[in-house]
Structure 1
Amino acid sequence: MDKILIVDDEENIIESISMILKSEGYETESCLSGAEAINKVKNSEYDLILLDIKMPRMDGIEVLEKIMEINSRQVVIMITGHGTIETAVEAIKKGAYNFLQKPLPDLYELKLIVKNAVEFKKSRDELIRVRKDLIETYKIVGSSEKIRNAVDLVKKFSKVNSNVLVTGESGTGKELAARLIHLYSDKADKPFIEISSANLPEEKTDLELFGGIEDGNFIKGKFELAEGGTIFLDEISNLTGEVQSKLLKVLETNKIMRLGTNIEIHLNARFIFASNRDLLEEVKSGNLREDFFHRINVFRIDLPALREIPEDIQQLTEYFAKKFCTENNIPVKKFSKSAIDLLLSLRWAGNARELKNLVERLIISVDKKVIEYEDIEIPGSRHLKEFSELFNKNMTLNDFQNESEKIFLLKMLNDYKYNISQTADALKIQRSHLYKLLTKYDIPTPKKRSGTS
């Protein structure tokens, strides 16, 4: 039953309102002073408070301020008979939901105003609950310093209405960070529009982003669909120079122009950009405009690779296992110490996403309560086989060193999808040194591989 508190220094007003509300199925409480009302709010929760503005000792505005300090989400309707409209407007600015003037409106209108206020509170409470559930769904797990710093930045940046750049290797959680920025912000109840630059149709990119007319039909672009909310633009270095130029203008003016028109539309949305590449290298190679890079590289979050935060691997493993088992009504499975030690020894080129996939696969495939070391299939077994064959060959030490180094390089390149910067970083060598090794062992560079495929 919905509970309403009536605060007025006139008992006859309290009795009249209480009788009407009880007939509608509401539970009511009442008090004759502001001080008593504040004590009640401290100790009880109410779906609605009806608060008189003009009361002795402590007026309604002062009581409202105290109530908002206790619970900023409390729904309050002010009742005014002596004050002016200006006083009521002041109350609205201080957090009141609405106001009523004495003499009170007719019965139907009073019931409707109260019903709408109670329904408003229920809807808002449901939105808050859904928001909390989503924050739990998309939370970034880990207690390492690097993860704590990243989460702190997510929360800080969510409070300012500025564009954000999120970088990190594939599988580090860039989308999670973007969604959390959106959910922690005051845009949480507005759209979150995700755009993968790599999947934009080249011939229809402008139409997809800005909207326009196609075959006589008006098509709303993704930017317009995000009105009031957040645009998550992933893999930004895949955008063409022309699109980057147009996007730069959007960022500078907060305006967009539909394809085939001369009408500018104001855009009220936050951009969150993401990339798994070294953007400075992308600028040097000409894939990313320098002015565009500097425009978006202000509020930045760098997510660490999993190999940089091994102290989080056990926590992530247990989190993924519990979450997957709970979602699929499976008894929660554990990982033995030897299994965890093995996971700690791996490099995880696919980062947290690769670990998550492995954990879920093991939970389904291993029919035991505790997953052991021997249950885990080590990634890269093909390269292990090549090493094994190498051991059984007759060759000089120099030939063995060269062959084993080549196999190892191929494995690392494969793990990092032939991303030169990430592979060199993992090997702790300069990119120029890596290129020399590729030439030495006649290993095609990414451009040569794509050119011959």
Structure 2
Amino acid sequence: MSATHILVVDDEPDIRTSIQEILEDEGYVVVVAENGEAARHALRERRPDLILLDIWMPDRDGISLLKEWGEDEDLPCPVIMMSGHGTVETAVEATRLGAYDYLEKPLSMAKLLLTIERALQAERLQRENVGLKRRTPLVLEPIGRSAAILRLREQVKRIAQHDTWVLITGEAGSGRETLARYLHAQSPRRERPFVDLSVSGIARGNAAYELFGSETGDHVHYGSLEQAAGGTLLLDEVADMDLEAQGQLLGALDTGSFLRVGGTEPVRVEVRIIAVTQRNLEEEVRAGRFREDLFYHLNVVPLHVPPLREHSEDVPELLNFYVDFFTNHEKLPYRRFSVGAQNFLRNYGWPGNIRELKNLVQRVLILGAGDEVTQNEVETALGSPQPTPTQPLEGMVSFDQPLRSARELFEKAYLEYQLEKHAANVSKMAKEAGMERTHLYRKLRSLGIEIKERR
């Protein structure tokens, strides 16, 4: 695992050496550059985690470099400006161009170290916020106390201490990304980047650009492998990667280096790979859609996330978690799920797994009313098919009989249907039928309908 990489750009040798020695004593890996051209070369060799940039240099000033690096996209990393002859206008301009902070020379080393620490922390928080906005909510660990989830968490804690590649399988929405993030958080790489690359979202032919980045003149675009340097790269739906990209990825990870698109110098990379898929990769290999050698590399440590229907005892805890989340983070009204609703949801099939459960909670909090979420409400929200008569009216009631007899047969069929629909809840039946409860009880008895048998 690589340490935090800092690039120091300053034309004064004494300052460069002093900063380098102090930062290396703090455990950072430091590369120095004496001017703008050397800084460009250092950026081509490797993406730094932070840049300390002097403003006044003989060949190209720091403000111009800052403009150049942020011209087509965001700055490659946090940049802290340094100057012994700065003005307020210069500091404002540097901040406008994206610099994290501005320090005056002579440098206070205590302030420098604190500013570096805060800049790196702000960068980590920004990456986490991007994840939160893209996939809300970002669950910190697999939720549940079932035997399956407890066993899975223990497996992940053991695996996290080793730098092996990991293959996570499971159905869509089952919590595979949550497990990958939990693994990263339990590992020694937890302070380094976690980069999520959605393979299925890459346009055909663009995989090399997304993975390895590109070079065009002095401009460098850093791909996902460099963004995740020293940390973890999650390849989401890895089975969607085309064969050419699979071969390029395998070559890069075998040799520990790669060429950016348009580049000529190899770039070293050290990263942990977690691959996620809902497909059977062995079947994909047999069908010729996935490289066998890459499969064996990825399958060093396989983990399987069970579908929610296989650990349905965790449903109540998941419901409580998402109610709390949406209440606290989206200011939705708090509502509790009734015992009947929870029991119904424990026995529901959950084809969309945890993602479907999360969406259900959000829906009933937005659209529902009252303190309690009822079983009927969740059935409606899920679009569960309601019981319907198995025969048309003509098949249930003969028209060749007295009206009174036909009416009794119809009433019995109607109330049987309502009893089934509302799971023998007489209050709900009475409300829908427009009858008083006492009158409804008498009618059920007179028609020979036994309520207890339906409970």
Q: Same fold (TM over 0.5)?
A: yes
Match of residue 269 from structure 1? 271
Q: In the alignment, which residue of structure 1 is the partner of 2:174?
A: 172
1:244 & 1:122 partners in 2: Cα distance? 38
**Matched letter for residue 288 of structure 1:** F
Which position in structure 2 is the counterpart of 1:404? none
- For 1:253, which of 244, 252, 255 is the aligned residue? 255
* Deviations 1:25-55 (CA, angstroms, capped at 9, x unpaired): xxxxxxxxxxxxxxxxxxxxxxxxxxxxxxx
Q: Choose the corresponding residue for 2:375, options 363, 367, 373.
A: 373
Distance (whole Å) between structure 2 residues aligned to residue 132 and residue 192 of structure 1:
9
Asked if the contact 2:363–2:381 (Cα under 8 Å) also holds between the matched residues in 1, the reply is: no
Q: Is this contact kept in 1: 2:364–2:378, CA < 8 A?
A: yes
User: 2: distance between equivalents of 1:164 and 1:326?
Assistant: 34
Q: Which amino acid in 2 is paired with 1:199?
A: G
Residue 258 and residue 305 in structure 1: after superposition, are their counterparts in 2 closer, same or farther (change >3 A)?
A: same
Counterparts in 2 of 1:46-195, with a 5 A limit?
A: 137-195=139-197
Q: 1:201 matched to which residue of 2?
A: 203
Residue-by-residue CA offset, 1:204-228 (whole Å, 9 max, x unaligned): 2212211224598542222122222
Question: Compared with structure 1, are the counterparts of its residues 243 and 119 closer, same or farther at alpha carbon in structure 2 (3 Å cutoff)?
Answer: closer
Report the equivalent of 1:228.
Answer: 230
What TM-score, normalized to structure 1? 0.56
Q: Deviations over 1:33-84 (max 9, x none)?
A: xxxxxxxxxxxxxxxxxxxxxxxxxxxxxxxxxxxxxxxxxxxxxxxxxxxx
1:352 Cα offset (Å): 0.6
Partner of 1:289 in structure 2? 291
One-letter amino acid of the counterpart of residue 228, structure 1? G
- 362-371 or 221-230: bigger deviation: 221-230
The structure richer in helix per residue is 1
TM-score, normalised via structure 2 length: 0.56
- 2:240 maps to which residue? 238
**1:215 and 1:223 mapped to 2: Cα distance?**
21
Matches within 5 A, 1:302-321: 302-321=304-323
Identity of aligned residues (%): 29
Change (3 A) 1:209 1:340: same
Instruction: Name the amino acid aligned to 1:273.
Output: A
Taking a change above 3 Å as real, the CA distance of residues 128 and 213 of structure 1, as seen in their structure-2 partners, is: closer
CA drift at 1:366: 1.0
Give the equivalent residue in structure 2 for 1:324: 326
Which residue, 343, 359, 381 being the options, matches 1:357? 359
Shift of 1:316: 0.7
2:237/2:277 contact within 8 Å kept: yes
Measured after TM superposition, the shift of residue 154 of structure 1 is 2.2
Describe the superposition over 1:125-176 as per-residue Cα deviations: whole angstroms up to 9, x where unpaired.
9999999999984221011111112212222222222221111100111111
Q: Which amino acid aligns with 1:350?
A: G
Question: What CA distance in whole angstroms lies between the structure 1 residues aligned with 2:373 and 2:392?
Answer: 33
Aligned partner of 1:348 in structure 2 is 350
SS in 2 for 1:237: helix
CA offset at residue 270 of structure 1? 1.0
SS in 2 for 1:138: coil
Deviation at 1:291, TM superposition (A): 1.6
Alpha-carbon deviations, 1:365-421, whole Å to 9, x = none? 111111111111357758x48x958744999xxxxxxxxxxxxxxxxxxxxxxxxxx
**1:139 counterpart SS class:** coil
The 8 Å contact of residues 195 and 234 in structure 1, kept in 2 or not, is answered as: yes
* Residues matched between the structures, number: 293
Kindly tell me: are residues 329 and 226 of structure 1, through their superposed partners in 2, closer, same or farther at Cα, counting changes over 3 Å?
A: same
Q: What does residue 302 of structure 2 align with?
A: 300
CA contact (8 A) 2:138 2:178 kept: no
Q: For residues 392 and 252 of structure 1, do their structure 2 counterparts lie closer, same or farther at Cα, with a shift above 3 Å needed?
A: farther
Q: For 1:285 and 1:379, how far apart are their aligned partners in 2?
A: 40
Give distance in 1, aligned partners of 2:267 and 2:114. Answer: 37
Matched letter for residue 202 of structure 1: R
Structure 2 residue runs without a partner (length 5+): 1-24, 28-106, 396-455
* 1:348 Cα offset (Å): 0.4
Of 207, 211, 214, which residue of structure 1 is paired with 2:213?
211
* Secondary structure, counterpart of 1:195 in structure 2: strand
Q: Is the 8 A contact 1:255 1:266 kept in 2?
A: yes
Gaps of 5+ in 1: 1-91, 95-110, 396-453
